[in-house]
Structure 1
């Protein structure tokens, strides 16, 4: 008898198999018990017919409690009534671990209660579906960049300097040195690009930003490609190709997860069509002012402004060339204007906000040194970064995609906290 996972059921129709799983729910009549089984790979139904099993097995099936773990032995059958398409006709049940008074019941629970029990809430079908989409985005990311000729490089998590706003850094003591948790691997990825051409990183980043919005986490994961000999326009083409690839792979490989989440697949399909629309920062400000938004040129966009701009399009939209004053020191100025830089944010549709930020990097030594000084940064801390401009500098560009924001959008989830297994929020570090 073969031990299988639920997801493998289609390969074993008519066979007697053994499956280890948990009881997510159950119901019974006088002659049949229906067990909702999950094993981490999928959910399906176990059918226990009183006339086909020993009396003790049927009594056990009726007495099983929510989230008890079991071994079930039975025959896989097709089930045309379910989306999964298969079920198991149970012949034997063995309890592995009993579950008593499971705290998360089918009734409604508050957000704080579910966050306090996140270690158990992950077992729900909705969370399982979101984690499947997260896994697919990660898998497709590696596949995309490998296919495009990128090398994976791992920047350090402990750093001695800031990539962006120094007020958002988590400080720690590194023996006799001051150190910080990484807010971005970008500066190190630029060094890697000068050595290896096209590179990408995928790892955790940290922002000590005291924000409570549905778009913000304290700890999150970023995909950060850097590309030598590439300008901003070429980088935009990579960005939209990458995002469309992610959407298509989620559609291809997460069909059941999207159904569980009741995600509109036809809407997602629109996001695979390229190119994505582009609008300049100047045009975006005009659009907002003409629609009664109180905003002046030079201000950054907040969530309401981004949502309004995104709603003018059926796809993700790039906002190009923001004012230099509100962007980091490393961005290259526009060749025809000194007040804006060669950068772009990709804004996701449906109110999900920015999912990518990118730019062409400043490749001139003296210009970069001047910008570091203007931002009040210690030149000695960035001497190694300036070396990249001393020794064979080239035009180069890069971007960062926020994994959790992207998953929130693709899954149609309201809050970013659902897109990571154990969210770290302003007032939450448990569990």
Structure 2
């Protein structure tokens, strides 16, 4: 019977076959220990010289790293292993021999590993990160499907830009100008007027020449939009969503988080209501922390966000930013138009902003005014302005950057490890 490594727990005491690759091996003369991987997990295969033919034991001792195999043997419990099971190997069949595999069990430089990203993904650490990423995606769909949201797919090629065109990739769309999407938000607002509560999940692109550990050129966004929802309720939904998917990762990725050495006690605190601090209060706090360079009206950089987040043991909302530094579509605060009803969710441990959201303007005259103030062409945005003209309602939404969340949950330092094939400044290979 052919099974996967993940299924091994269900076949204790049975002889099975696993299609796999050799991750690593060691030998003590009379026993060969094969570290096997099949994509579903990692498991040790033990080949005892006295229990197999001389030819089979010699083959086991000389298999090269990343050779593909069919390995047959008995599944048994192994209390010494964090996985909990191993195989007593009876036979090994080589499918394809790998020679001179470039990523050996030694230290390699970052550039070398990035040049070989297509192979680096096979390592135990990268495998664990991708499994956590997958669980966060799975739990995302589960959360929104269970809470009455409809999945909508906005276009990647657009003729306009939610944030302006300064950081967009330009292309030609036959004889027209087009851009790679930096956000599906405007389309999701239109969809919310048709379907009530919607969410999208897809790639977005920012032509931002940044080399920080938090930035990618191409990344994936989850973008919900909700009709008849205002700022306060949106914050509640955000904290419910983030709590849900992080707790799902803790429950379903225990082995992977252990592999990564993640201190999960900090993630266990991410539940319930998140702390909230206004922009005004954040400025006061930063001044107390000797950040004299920051003044009211300035946007926060990474050091400012980290200093604020260090005061809390779970993600913190910074709310009500100045209108002048936020996007044109954000609803002003009643009685105080110099700030908007928005919030950034800042993760602890230096991981920075993982969500940006706001209540959206639902007044036709104000929306047109803001479009003009930001130097945008009303004609190009005429379809979006139609939302405010034909039965608009209070509505709110947010965007979560998946790679930053994966970095936070896994504890990895740089987002380049949180996406299968990262696109970075000066890197589009492989």
TM tier, shorter chain?
over 0.9
CA distance in 2, matches of 1:247, 1:107: 32
| 1:75 aligned residue | 74
The answer for the alignment partner of 2:175 in structure 1 is: 176
For residue 338 of structure 1, report the CA deviation from its aligned partner. Answer: 1.4
Hey, what does 1:353 align to over in structure 2?
352
Corresponding residue SS for 1:252: helix
Counterpart among 286, 289, 301 of residue 287 in structure 2: 289
The CA distance in 2 between the partners of 1:238 and 1:391, in whole Å, is: 26
Looking at structure 1, the residues matched to 216 and 312 of structure 2 have their Cα atoms a distance apart, in angstroms, of: 27
Q: Distance in 2 between matches of 1:111 and 1:32?
A: 35
- Tell me what 2:12 maps to: 13
The whole-number CA distance in structure 2 between the counterparts of 1:265 and 1:428 is 32
Counterparts of 1:101-120 in structure 2, within 5 Å, are: 101-120=100-119
Q: Provide the residue aligned with 1:415 in structure 2.
A: 414
Residues 372-395 of structure 1, C-alpha deviations (whole Å, 9 max, x = no match):
101111100010101111110100
Shift of residue 246, structure 1, vs aligned partner: 1.0
Q: 1:266 Cα shift?
A: 1.2
Equivalence for 1:327: 326
Q: Deviations over 1:1-44 (max 9, x none)?
A: x1000000011111110101011110111211000000000101
Structure 1, unmatched stretches of 5+, are none
Report the counterpart of residue 148 of structure 2 in structure 1.
149
SS in 2 for 1:167: coil
The answer to whether structure 1 residue 228 and structure 2 residue 227 are counterparts is: yes
Deviation of the 1:289 alpha carbon = 1.1
The aligned runs of 1:224-263 (5 Å cut-off) are: 224-263=223-262
Following the alignment from structure 1 to structure 2, what is the Cα–Cα distance between the partners of residues 84 and 296?
Answer: 52
Per-residue CA deviation, residues 178-235 of structure 1 (Å, 9 max, x unaligned), is 1100000000000000000000000000000000000000000000000000100000
Q: Which of these residues, 266, 277, 280, is aligned with residue 279 of structure 1?
A: 277
State the SS of the aligned residue for 2:250.
Answer: helix
Name the TM-score, length of structure 2 as normaliser.
0.99
Q: Which residue of 1 aligns with 2:46?
A: 47
CA distance in 2, matches of 1:49, 1:289: 66
Work out the CA distance in 2 between the residues paired with 1:319 and 1:265.
24
Counterpart Cα distance in 2 of 1:291 and 1:25 = 49
Query: CA offsets, 1:108-132, max 9 Å, x none?
Result: 1110000000000000000000000
Q: Is residue 389 of structure 2 the alignment partner of residue 379 of structure 1?
A: no
Matches within 5 A, 1:53-202: 53-202=52-201
Unmatched 5+ stretches in structure 2 = none
Structure 1: distance between partners of 2:44 and 2:125: 17
Aligned to 2:204: 205
CA RMSD in angstroms comes to: 0.6
- Mapped to 2, the partners of 1:312 and 1:328 lie a distance apart of 27
d(CA) in 1 for partners of 2:393, 2:176: 32
Paired position in structure 1 for 2:312: 313
Please report how far the alpha carbon of residue 176 of structure 1 lies from its aligned counterpart in structure 2 after TM superposition. Answer: 1.1
Three-state SS of the structure 2 residue aligned to 1:271 is coil
Distance in 2 (CA, whole Å) between partners of 1:387 and 1:30 is 76
Does structure 1 retain, via aligned residues, the 8 Å contact 2:24–2:36?
A: yes
State the alpha-carbon separation in 2 of the partners of residues 112 and 312 from structure 1: 35
2:342 paired residue number: 343
Residue aligning to 1:218: 217
SS of the residue corresponding to residue 247 of structure 2 reads helix
| CA deviation after TM superposition for structure 1 residue 60, in Å | 0.1
TM-score, normalising length: structure 1: 0.99
Q: Would you identify which runs of 4 or more consecutive aligned residues in structure 1 move more than 3 Å?
A: none
Query: 1:270 Cα deviation (Å)?
Result: 0.7
In the TM superposition, what is the alpha-carbon distance from 1:165 to its structure 2 partner?
3.2
